Structure 1
């Protein structure tokens, strides 16, 4: 079972990807840090197969908590503990219709690989490589969707827009909602979050997790694997690759810090970030419905 959890996951080695010599690709990874996903996507890449199997076998949702038993020890995970563990933002959008329309319009041009604006439900090959990779990160690592990834759904496009233009998103609520669906019996939500769940379990006193295993190298996004992805998938989409020549490096436009930039640090170029916004008022939290991908060109694998 653990293999199925891992097959739909990516881990990002942020220190390594910031060495990638393409400023636009680096800026995309910077946007994931700015939006508050650093600790979730870049947490320690270790997992405990037996503990994960038990967690999902006995897991359910009760009174808003995720509950399970591992080795006879009760496990409870609340939304507040989940968000605090990964330092996830707990304020901002959960209703994607609140993404400002001017940002959506800007994204349709910015994401496009050609001069033509893309639709908010488009094929991944219509977008620049860094946004194809961003789309895959959302689909595989955050919302853990099965099936083809050649199409970008409307909801994924809106989230990509929010991330790119630094709109506040309540990731604590959104991602905890996905985890609750994972442990709900008979749910259609694919299971994942292998390394993140193990981080949560390690914080439970007295819980023995057994032998740990390293996250598979092909699932770790670092400078080397990003080069391979760009080299093999520039025109067909971003999927898992194992062996390929390194892509020719693109000259760096400006230097980028490996750590989260300070508020007055504007060294990343080209700068496309705009001021965070929630449209001047508190946003009513609604359940996020992530659409199933549109049936398109079959993918070669995940």
Structure 2
């Protein structure tokens, strides 16, 4: 089974989510489309599990082109083919390290729940709800990195900044470089892009891809799944606040108990000194 190749995947049904009543959430998805990712995140959902396993097991990179065999047939995927297939922009920043610092500074305030610039070493619950979801989309569908999805990282926030501040990004170069890392031996890059790779393989007429597999509906963002995301995050946020309050109360009790012990110790020491003085 190749389900592990999309265990953390996230796909978007733009027609569904743009029909939501939540204006802020709709605005976030509109910004995501404007960034040039609609063709990549909203492409037709199809997965060929056996072909995916074949491609990753046999793939290598030569002269910037991904070369593999699927069902015994040669497959070559270039950056140009990748860009054309998903209508990805080829202009703009080619690397997240080129992100302007002033844009990141602005984005830290734009996405903030409190209005204060968020910490880039904090957690996503510092953000307004639409941007928490955007953080998940960037972590799952774009950067495809393992780890805590609640934690904010510089990489994830740079991707969020692209969308929030309308930064022109060379998505073709960035996404294809991630794909090349996926197939490179010894790379720690997680496997992903299951839907996109499946669609690319379907364009090769000589390939026998076998039966397509059903992509989990829970991993496609629709009105229903977005509302579920909001509900879960609201609940988790409330539990976190409650937990923090309990920890604070416990801490106060511990401080009070400690203060009592110190007070008793001081009284004991003072009494001992008095007894000693009386004897002398």
TM over 0.5: yes
- The residue that corresponds to 1:240 in the other structure is none
- Deviation for aligned residue 1:161: 1.2
1:121-145 alpha-carbon deviations (Å, 9 max, x no partner)? 3211111111111111111101111
- Deviation for aligned residue 1:101: 3.5
- The residue that corresponds to 2:182 in the other structure is 182
Q: Is the 1:111–1:127 contact (alpha carbons within 8 Å) kept by the matching residues of 2?
A: yes
Higher RCO (CA-CA < 8 Å; seq separation 6+)? 1
Q: Is the 2:182–2:190 contact (alpha carbons within 8 Å) kept by the matching residues of 1?
A: yes
1:100-155 alpha-carbon deviations (Å, 9 max, x no partner)? 33332221111111132212332111111111111111111011111211111112
Q: Is the 1:24–1:130 contact (alpha carbons within 8 Å) kept by the matching residues of 2?
A: yes
- The residue that corresponds to 1:12 in the other structure is 12
Secondary structure of the structure 2 residue equivalent to 1:47:
coil
Q: Is the 1:120–1:158 contact (alpha carbons within 8 Å) kept by the matching residues of 2?
A: no
- Deviation for aligned residue 1:97: 4.2
Determine the C-alpha separation between the residues in 2 that align with 1:171 and 1:157.
16
- The residue that corresponds to 2:259 in the other structure is none
TM-score by length of 1: 0.76
Q: Is the 2:66–2:77 contact (alpha carbons within 8 Å) kept by the matching residues of 1?
A: yes
Determine the C-alpha separation between the residues in 2 that align with 1:115 and 1:143.
27
1:275-294 alpha-carbon deviations (Å, 9 max, x no partner)? xxxxxxxxxxxxxxxxxxxx
- The residue that corresponds to 1:81 in the other structure is 81
RMSD: 1.4
- The residue that corresponds to 1:156 in the other structure is 156
- Deviation for aligned residue 1:99: 2.8
User: Judging changes above 3 Å, is the alpha-carbon distance between structure 1 residues 45 and 66 closer, same or farther for their aligned structure 2 residues?
Assistant: same
Give the structure with higher Rg (CA).
Answer: 2
Determine the C-alpha separation between the residues in 2 that align with 1:226 and 1:41.
15
Determine the C-alpha separation between the residues in 1 that align with 2:232 and 2:203.
40
- Greater fraction helix: 2
Secondary structure of the structure 2 residue equivalent to 1:140:
helix
Determine the C-alpha separation between the residues in 1 that align with 2:81 and 2:215.
24
Determine the C-alpha separation between the residues in 2 that align with 1:30 and 1:198.
26
Q: Is the 1:125–1:235 contact (alpha carbons within 8 Å) kept by the matching residues of 2?
A: no
Determine the C-alpha separation between the residues in 2 that align with 1:181 and 1:95.
14
User: Judging changes above 3 Å, is the alpha-carbon distance between structure 1 residues 95 and 179 closer, same or farther for their aligned structure 2 residues?
Assistant: closer
Q: What are the equivalent positions in structure 2 for 1:63-142 lying under 5 Å apart?
A: 63-142=63-142
Unaligned runs of 5+ in 2: 238-280
TM-score by length of 2: 0.81
- Deviation for aligned residue 1:72: 1.2
Secondary structure of the structure 2 residue equivalent to 1:152:
coil
- Deviation for aligned residue 1:96: 2.9
Determine the C-alpha separation between the residues in 2 that align with 1:132 and 1:61.
34
Is the deviation greater in 141-150 or in 96-105?
96-105
In the alignment of these two chains, the number of paired residues is 237
Determine the C-alpha separation between the residues in 1 that align with 2:54 and 2:98.
38
Secondary structure of the structure 2 residue equivalent to 1:46:
coil
Q: Is the 2:91–2:170 contact (alpha carbons within 8 Å) kept by the matching residues of 1?
A: yes
- The residue that corresponds to 1:143 in the other structure is 143
Determine the C-alpha separation between the residues in 2 that align with 1:2 and 1:81.
24
Determine the C-alpha separation between the residues in 2 that align with 1:9 and 1:115.
30
Q: Is the 1:182–1:190 contact (alpha carbons within 8 Å) kept by the matching residues of 2?
A: yes
Q: Is the 2:65–2:79 contact (alpha carbons within 8 Å) kept by the matching residues of 1?
A: yes
